[in-house]
Structure 1
Amino acid sequence: MTNVSVRKMTVMDAPGVHAVELESFATPWTLESFIAEMTQNPNAYYLVAETDEIIGFAGLWHIADEGHITNVAVKQKARGRGTGETLLVALIEQARQLGLRAMTLEVRVSNTPARTLYEKLGFLYAGTRKRYYQDNNEDAAIYWLELEGDE
C-alpha cells in the first residue's frame, strides 16, 4: 500500500466519500445522509483513507458501550492493498479510545473478502439476519469483536 493516511472525516469530505459509496454499494447512502451524520449525529465517528484523493472510509456509531460499524468501503482501484484493514484497525483503536466494550457489524454473506478481513482482525461470526439487504433479500452475517481485555 502506498502512502495512505487515515484521518477523521469532515463535512468537506462528503462528496469524495459519497463517490466511494456509490461505487461500492447496491443501495448507497445519499450525500445528504453523510452530511447529516457529520453535522447532526454526535455519536457518529467516521474516518477517511486518502492518497491524493479519498480512496476509502469507515464509520462507527457509538451506542451505549458498543460500537456499530455502519459502513466500510474502498474504491475499486484501491482494493486488495490493505486500505480496508488500515481503516478497520484505526476504527478499532477509536472504539478503544471511546471506552467501548465491543463492536458489531453486518456484512453480506456473499462478501467473502470482507468476511475474511473481519475474521483476521478478530471479529467472530455470531449469526445471520435473514433477508437483511433490500436490493436482493440477501442474508447478512453478524460479527462481534470484544474489546475488553483483548490487548
Structure 2
Amino acid sequence: MNSDFKICPMDKSSIKSILNISELSFPISWSLESLESELDNKFAKYVVLKKGDSIVGYGGMWLIIDESHITNVAIHPDARGHGGGDLIVEALFRICRKQKVTAITLEVRSSNFLAINLYEKHGFEKVSVRPHYYEDNGEDAVIMWNRNL
C-alpha cells in the first residue's frame, strides 16, 4: 500500500475532481448538483483520497440513526490497485464507529467483482439481490451488510 495516500473530508473544492472520478467509474454518474447537495445533507459523510495534492478517490455514506448506507466508493482508474479502496472503506468505518453506527449496508452491481471482493474483505456479507436495479442495463444489485462494526 502506498504511504503517499491520505484521507481528508470532502469539501466544496473537491466536487469537480469527485465528479470526474464518478464519470470515469460509473455507467451512471451522479450529477454535479447531486454531489454539491451532499455537502448540505446533514446525514451525508464523504471523504476524499489524496495522493499528494491530487484527489484520486472518494467515498460517501448516509448515516441514519444507528445504520449507515454507503452511497459511493470510487478510485480514479490511474490510481487503482494500490489499496486506496481499503483506505476509503476504513475511513468510513472510523466515522461510523465515532457516530455509534452498528451496521452498514450498500448495493453493488452483481458484475462488479472487484468491489464485492473489497467489501467482503471488510466484513460485508451478501444478503440479497435487488433484481433489475440499475437503470442503464437492468443489472441486479447485490445488497451487502456489515453488522459487526
Counterpart residue number, 1:16: 17
Counterpart residue number, 1:50: 50
In the alignment, structure 2 segments of 5+ residues that lack a partner are none
Q: Where has structure 1 moved over 4 Å in runs of 4 or more?
A: none
Q: Deviations over 1:66-123 (max 9, x none)?
A: 0000000000011111001110011011111111110000000000011011001111
Q: Secondary structure at the match of 1:46?
A: strand
Q: Percent identity?
A: 40
Counterpart residue number, 2:123: 122
In the alignment, structure 1 segments of 5+ residues that lack a partner are none
Partner AA of 1:64 in structure 2: I
Q: Secondary structure at the match of 2:73?
A: strand
Which TM-score applies when normalising by structure 1?
Answer: 0.95
Decide whether the 8 Å contact of 1:57 with 1:74 is kept in 2.
yes
Which TM-score applies when normalising by structure 2?
Answer: 0.96
Partner AA of 1:44 in structure 2: A
Decide whether the 8 Å contact of 2:123 with 2:148 is kept in 1.
no
Decide whether the 8 Å contact of 2:57 with 2:76 is kept in 1.
yes
CA-CA distance at 1:49 after TM superposition: 0.1
Decide whether the 8 Å contact of 1:96 with 1:147 is kept in 2.
no
Alignment partners' CA distance in 1, 2:148 and 2:49: 23
CA-CA distance at 1:147 after TM superposition: 3.3
CA-CA distance at 1:2 after TM superposition: 4.4
Counterpart residue number, 1:95: 96
Q: Secondary structure at the match of 2:117?
A: helix
Q: Secondary structure at the match of 2:4?
A: coil
